[in-house]
């Protein structure tokens, strides 16, 4: 494929991007908007203690965002972000090491499978004894639970790097570090990012569970306390907030995945074009 053809195809794809983005946005938001509208009108005259109106839930959510943002929402986000960051860094590093050393991976595989089978929630009492009540316990639980999808996906991604890619790296006489950083990890990036997206969902579950058991702050703590005091509008508001946070995190990772995979597809396309 000539350079001119590549540029032309790239421009053609770029010209369609705004329309595709608009269509994607419309496709993704019409159903949530419809469901919220149905919820709003169906619950408008609700007198149920357990199922308050959507209006009262949104009012409680607004109160949470204005009055309890710094005291409860920020700590949850900080613990979630720190635990996920530790899982990402350690998962990619250890996964790359094991993927580059198949013999080492086979030796550790039984232990890894055993450890991975332990639910992160099951470690809450252990972490509570070790770290006590506080952020360290929550971060440790999140890091443990989120580590495994990232690490295992990184191993799979590194092992799946084809021989031709490795030969290209050798032809450029890249150092071991540059080979891993510039060739192996980019080639394994689709699997790695898929593991990250799964870890985000697990992290939200673990932060809420840890705030249920041992906490005096956080979104999970708000939900638990409001349920105990029958403040159902606040309880539903905290659930709604958790859903929104999970959705936003997923959208961000989808954007990162789109950018990375576009680069990945471009490299593969150019390589195949060069072979043709």
Task: Give tens-digit pLDDT for 247-257.
Answer: 888 888 888 77
pTM, two decimals, is: 0.80
Q: Taking residues 157-162, what's their average pLDDT? A: 85
Question: Kind and range of the H or E element at 162?
Answer: none
pLDDT tier for residue 263 given thresholds of 50, 70 and 90: low
Contact by Cβ (8 Å): 197, 133? no
Question: Quick one: 158 exposed, middle or buried, by C-beta within 10 A (0-12, 13-18, 19+)?
Answer: buried
pLDDT tens sequence across 213-228: 878 889 999 999 999 9
Closest CA to 192 of 160, 165, 214: 160
In whole angstroms, what is the distance from residue 182 CA to residue 96 CA?
13
Tens digit of pLDDT for each residue in 65-99?
A: 999 898 889 999 999 999 999 999 999 999 999 99
pLDDT average, residue stretch 15-44: 81
Identity of the highest mean pLDDT range in 56-65, 243-252, 257-266: 56-65
Structure tokens at 112: 């890894």
* Residue 94: per-residue pLDDT: 94
Tokens representing 203?
A: 């992290």
The angle, 0 to 180 degrees and rounded to 10, between the axes of the packed helices 185-213 and 232-275 is 170
What residue spans define the domains of the chain? Answer: 17-46, 47-275
First to last CA, the chain: 7
Band (pLDDT 50/70/90 cuts) for residue 266 is: low
Per DSSP, the residues of 169-204 read HHHTT--HHHIIIIIIHHHHHHHHHHHHHHHHHHHH
Q: What is the mean pLDDT of the chain?
A: 84
Q: How deeply is 243 buried, as exposed, middle or buried, from its count of CB atoms within 10 A (0-12, 13-18, 19+)?
A: exposed
CATH class of 47-275: mainly alpha
Cα separations in angstroms, 17 against 37, 63, 116? 30, 39, 40
């Amino acid at each position: 494929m000539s350079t001119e053809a590549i540029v032309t195809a790239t421009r053609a794809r770029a010209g369609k991007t705004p329309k595709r983005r608009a269509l994607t946005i419309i496709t993704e938001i019409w159903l949530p908007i419809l469901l919220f509208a149905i919820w709003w009108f169906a619950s408008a005259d609700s007198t149920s203690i357990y199922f308050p109106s959507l209006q009262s839930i949104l009012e409680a959510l607004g109160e949470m965002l204005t009055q309890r943002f710094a005291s409860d929402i920020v700590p949850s986000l900080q613990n979630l972000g720190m635990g996920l960051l530790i899982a990402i860094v350690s998962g990619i590093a250890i996964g790359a090491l094991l993927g580059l050393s198949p013999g080492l991976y086979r030796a550790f595989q039984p232990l890894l499978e055993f450890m991975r089978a332990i639910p992160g929630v099951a470690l809450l009492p252990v972490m509570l004894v070790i770290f006590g009540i506080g952020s360290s316990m929550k971060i440790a639980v999140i890091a443990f639970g989120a580590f495994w999808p990232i690490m295992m996906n990184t191993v799979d991604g590194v092992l799946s790097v084809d021989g031709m890619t490795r030969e290209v790296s050798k032809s450029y006489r890249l150092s071991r570090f540059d080979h891993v950083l510039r060739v192996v990890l980019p080639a394994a990036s689709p699997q790695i990012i898929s593991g990250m997206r799964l870890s985000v969902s697990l992290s939200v579950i673990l932060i809420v569970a840890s705030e249920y058991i041992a906490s005096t702050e956080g979104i999970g703590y708000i939900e638990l306390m409001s349920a105990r005091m029958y403040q159902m509008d606040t309880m539903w508001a905290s659930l709604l907030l958790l859903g929104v946070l999970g959705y936003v995190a997923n959208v961000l990772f989808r954007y990162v995945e789109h950018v990375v995979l576009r680069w990945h597809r471009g490299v593969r396309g150019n390589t195949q074009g060069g072979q043709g």
